[in-house]
Amino acid sequence: MRPTLPTPFVRRTVLALAALLPLLIAGPAAAAGNVAETYVTDNIHRGLDLLNNKSLSAPQKREQFENFLVGLTDMKRIAMFTLGQYRRTASPAELDTFAAAFQNYATAVYQSYFAKYAGQTLKVTGSTQRSADDFIVATALIDPNDKSGQPPLEVDFRIRTDTGKPVVVDFSVAGIWLALEERDQFTAFLGQNNGNLKELDAHLGDLAKQYRGG
C-alpha cells in the first residue's frame, strides 16, 4: 500500500489552496499602494470577468480558469521549493515530472472549490515590503452571509517581482503558509520512501483524481 500524507496536512493544504479562489471572484478591493497590491487588485477584476462570462460553456470556463490560475501563480517555483533538499539530488526530468504532478494536484483543488466561494469577497487591507522585489499583501476574506459576528479570515499573499513580473509564490490562511507546510510534509514523505519522487507524484495524482470526482 502506498503511504499517504497525514490527514491534517491534507486539510490544511485544501484550506490554503482554496483560499486563493476568492482572489479571483471578489469584488473591487481598496486602492493599491504598491505594485503587489495593484497586482492583487487587477486580478480580482480579471477573475471576476472570467467567472461571470455567461457566453462560456462549463468546460470552457474550467479550462480558462485553470489557465488563469497558472498565469497568476508560479507553480513550478512553488513546486521546487516544496522539495527541499530532495531537489538537489533529482534529475531535470524528475523535477519536470514532479512540477507537472504538483500543478495538476493544485489546480484540481482550486477547481473543486470553484462554486463554494462565489458569493465571497476579498478585501486588500495593506501590504509589507520585505525587500525590493518581495511583498506580503494582507487581505480579509468576507462572507456576506456570515452572521456570526466573527472577524473575517485573514489571507496573506506573498508576491515576488524578481522575474520581471509579479507572481504569487505562497499564501497563508490564518498564519499557515502553504509552501512551507508542503515542504515539511513532502520532505517527510520522501524521507519515508527513500527519496522516490515517483511515489509522491503518484500520490498527488491520486488526490487530484479525488478532487475531480474520480
Q: What is the CA radius of gyration of the chain?
A: 17
58 or 150, greater pLDDT: 150
Average pLDDT over residues 105-113: 73
Structural domains of the chain ordered from first start:
7-142+149-211 (3.10.450)
H-only helix segments in the chain: 7-18, 21-25, 35-51, 58-72, 75-82, 86-89, 92-112, 178-191, 197-211
* pTM confidence score: 0.75
Mapped onto helix, strand or coil, the DSSP state of residue 50 is helix
What was the pLDDT predicted at 147?
A: 83
Q: Where are the beta strands (DSSP E) in 102-199?
A: 121-131, 134-142, 153-160, 167-173, 176-177
What was the pLDDT predicted at 196?
A: 96
Closest CA to 25 of 137, 139, 158, 177: 139
pLDDT tens string 4-58: 665 555 555 555 555 444 444 444 433 334 889 989 878 866 766 776 677 888 7
Phi-psi region of 139 (alpha: psi -120 to 50; beta: other; left: phi over 0): beta
**Stated length of the chain:** 214
CA 161 to CA 147: how far, in whole Å? Answer: 38
CA 145 to CA 167: how far, in whole Å? Answer: 31
What was the pLDDT predicted at 64?
A: 81
What was the pLDDT predicted at 5?
A: 61
Which of 39-48, 82-91, 152-161 is predicted most confidently?
A: 82-91
pLDDT tens string 193-214: 999 999 999 999 998 888 877 6
Quote the mean pLDDT of the chain. Answer: 79
pLDDT range class, residue 179, cuts 50, 70, 90: confident
What was the pLDDT predicted at 93?
A: 97
Percent of the chain with pLDDT over 90: 35
